[in-house]
DNA sequence: GCAAAAGTGTTGTAACTACACCCATGT
DNA sequence: ACATGGGTGTAGTTACAACACTTTTGC
């Protein structure tokens, strides 16, 4: 009876969306996410993470990239699938299953412009989030957890920093993400022995006071060649 | 122009499926996956991982559990979302986006029965897979990678062993999954200091020859209480 | 000269690696 | 008695954690 019903189910009626948790980082604000203010119902005039329905002939990644471009004008430099949220009632209209991604952007890409589907676009520190549409709090929290975990075994933190950065920026990033103090000397020793940094002949431009630090850049080529050889990174502290 | 099109896209036409890579393990066969032989087109009479379309009012997890039950008669004791595969052309009929899960079953649950949607159900060692329908090879390979990674920081290997097992079974499991030899004494020391095993007053039933080993069981309660306190497990070798 | 941030070494401790022999059982 | 697999300890080495003072710059 119910067996027959299962084998010949009614036509599926649900929609597939992609959403993106876009992370940015500055020393001043700490880890932040990019939110848009929705123009249309449901949850009109509420903050939400950027996203939208997948088109019929685009891949999921292409859909995320397109939606980000449309809603925020942003181009990201790191994008990874996070989790698929599919509770039947997560959208009040009808069933929407959402494939969530998370993305990392460098501080110099922070300039955004509200697109046609968004009333406003803005960055929010992750510990000062406004109330959010749908289950987007859950999505953001999953993304934060994932990011926290991932930076301990993959050097993706660099994707949140400028191309040239002082060592202290990296340290502050880790302190902020891990939520506890790190000994500067131990941190520097461990990062240096990964041998993924290029020491530049420049010093950081001054921001207030203190001794300027040497600038470094991330050796992406070396990282990928090590990674492809199956090298394991340990960036836990 | 193209903007207008993007804002009012044609109705979405795709279907959402769930698929499961079910892992089992025995000392004899090593890590194995459960496959079904498809009854219907496309890829009729070819091997595939169990799965099917999500019903309108069930969660994704419920869908996986239902499909596994229907197609293989199996109940799993560990289930985790793996990745969502959404390439537009991964199904020759029309677009099907699949949320893939992976599951672990204990050896005593190996008995399966081909359900109504499957011609046959069988276990295959992961290094002797037959040719597979759709992109199921990719899904299985992702699942293997995930499992390999995960057993180094979460004690999920126990989900592949019987409730009572000799120490050597656990060791062989790790050797098989990691693909290299492990020093027995170092392994035992490290596992024992995690303090997640209960040493039983029984010895293993004899299978061929050799000294029978003491039996252990996994302390699931302790594991969850440690995990909830944020305790980190290190099971790398 | 003082405040603010960057730079730098050492020492004790804990964890990891490498390694070989004896024991209990079945045949 | 022999073959098979289970059980156990140590020593050298390496990585980790904890710790404070000096240097360079802006104001």
Catalogue all structural domains in chain A, each as residue range(s) with its CATH number. Answer: 14-150 (3.90.79.10), 156-227 (1.10.10.10)
Asked if residue B96 has pLDDT above 90, the reply is: yes
Residue B113 corresponds to which tokens in the numbers above? 């029965």
Express each pLDDT in B115-146 by its tens digit: 777 889 999 999 999 999 999 999 999 999 99
Reference A31, options A130, A104, A81; nearest CA is A104
Please tell me the distance from the alpha carbon of residue A95 to that of residue A108, in angstroms, as a whole number: 37
Q: Are A121 and A36 in contact (CB under 8 A)?
A: yes
As a whole number, mean pLDDT of residues A185-202 equals: 95
Distance CA(A215)–CA(A63), nearest Å, equals 36
Quote the minimal CA–CA distance from B115 to chain A in Å. Answer: 11
Sheet holding B214-218, edge to edge: B165-166, B214-218, B197-203
Give the pLDDT confidence score for residue A4 in this predicted structure: 40
Q: What is the spatial distance between Cα B41 and Cα B35, in angstroms, rounded to a whole number?
A: 16
Residue A8: the pLDDT is: 57
Q: Residue at minimal CA–C1' distance from C27?
A: B209
Cβ-count burial of B8 within 10 angstroms (0-12 exposed, 13-18 middle, 19+ buried)?
Answer: exposed
**What is the distance in angstroms between the CA of the first residue and the CA of the last residue of chain B?**
58
Enter the tokens of residue B47. 């091997």
Decide if B84 and A116 are in contact by the 8 Å CB cutoff: no
**A16 and B14 in contact by Cβ < 8 A?**
yes
Nearest CA to CA, how far is A103 from chain B (Å)?
Answer: 16
Report pTM: 0.93
Percent of chain A with pLDDT over 90: 82
Taking CB atoms and an 8 Å limit, are B16 and A14 in contact across chains? yes
* Gap between the Cα atoms of B221 and B38, Å rounded: 40
Closest-CA residue of A relative to B95 is A56
Q: A100 with A143: CB under 8 angstroms?
A: yes
Average pLDDT score, chain B: 92
Q: Two tokens at B41?
A: 């087109």
Q: Chain B residues with CB-CB distance to A under 8 A?
A: 3, 6-7, 9-10, 12-16, 53-60, 66, 70, 81, 83-84, 86-88, 95, 97, 99, 116-117
Helix (H, G, I), strand (E, B) or coil at A124: strand
Cβ contact A60–B84 (<8 Å): yes
Residues in Cβ contact with A16 at an 8 Å cutoff, skipping those fewer than 6 apart: A53, A54, A96, A97, A98, A99, B12, B14, B16, B86, B97
Contact B177, B154 (CB under 8 A): no
* CA–CA dist B145, B139 (Å, integer): 10
Residue B23 β-bridge partners: B33, B104
* E strands in B65-193: 78-85, 96-104, 118-125, 165-166
CB-based contact B144:B191 (threshold 8 Å):
no
In the numeric block, which tokens belong to residue B52? 């099917």
Contact A84 B88 (CB under 8 A): no
Chains A and B form CB pairs within 8 A to the count of 79
What is the predicted pLDDT for the residue at B169? Answer: 95
Evaluate if residue B1 carries a pLDDT over 50: no
Rounded Cα–Cα distance for residues B103 and B105 (Å): 7
pLDDT level of residue A70 (50, 70, 90 thresholds): very high
Find the length of chain A. Answer: 237
* Bigger pLDDT: B98 vs A229: B98
- Nucleotide closest to A207 measured between CA and C1': D26
Say if residue B49's pLDDT is above 70.
yes
Mean pLDDT for A101-108 is: 95
Measured distance CA(B103)–CA(A180) in Å, rounded: 35
pLDDT of residue B9: 59
pLDDT, mean of residues A7-28: 89
Higher pLDDT, A41 or B157: B157
**Taking CB atoms and an 8 Å cutoff, what residues of chain B touch A81?**
83-84
Structure tokens at A172: 């502050």
Q: For strand C, which nucleotides have at least one atom less than 7 Å from a protein CB?
A: 3-10, 16-20, 23-27
Residues 151-210 of B, Cβ under 7 A from nucleic strand D: 166-168, 183-186, 188, 208-210
| Residue where the block lists tokens 């229907």 | B70
């Amino acid at each position: 009876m119910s067996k027959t019903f299962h084998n010949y189910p009614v036509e599926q009626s649900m929609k597939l969306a992609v959403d993106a948790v876009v992370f940015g980082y500055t020393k001043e604000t700490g880890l932040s996410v990019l939110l848009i203010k929705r123009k249309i119902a449901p949850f009109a005039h509420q903050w939400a993470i950027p996203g939208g329905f997948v088109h019929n002939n685009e891949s999921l990644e292409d859909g995320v990239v397109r939606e980000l471009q449309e809603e925020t004008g942003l181009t990201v430099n790191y994008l990874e699938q996070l989790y698929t949220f599919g509770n039947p009632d997560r959208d009040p209209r009808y069933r929407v299953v959402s494939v969530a991604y998370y993305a990392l952007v460098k501080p110099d890409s922070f300039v955004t412009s509200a697109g046609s589907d968004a009333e406003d676009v803005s960055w929010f520190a992750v510990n000062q989030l406004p109330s959010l549409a749908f289950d987007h709090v859950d999505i953001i929290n999953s993304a934060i957890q994932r990011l926290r975990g991932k930076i301990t075994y993959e050097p993706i933190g660099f994707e949140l920093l400028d191309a040239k950065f002082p060592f202290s920026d990296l340290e502050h990033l880790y302190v902020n993400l891990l939520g506890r103090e790190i000994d500067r000397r131990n941190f520097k020793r461990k990062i240096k022995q990964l041998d993924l940094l290029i020491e530049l002949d420049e010093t950081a431009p001054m921001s207030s006071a203190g001794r300027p630090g040497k600038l470094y850049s991330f050796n992406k080529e070396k990282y990928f060649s090590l990674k492809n050889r199956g090298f394991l990174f340990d960036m836990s502290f």
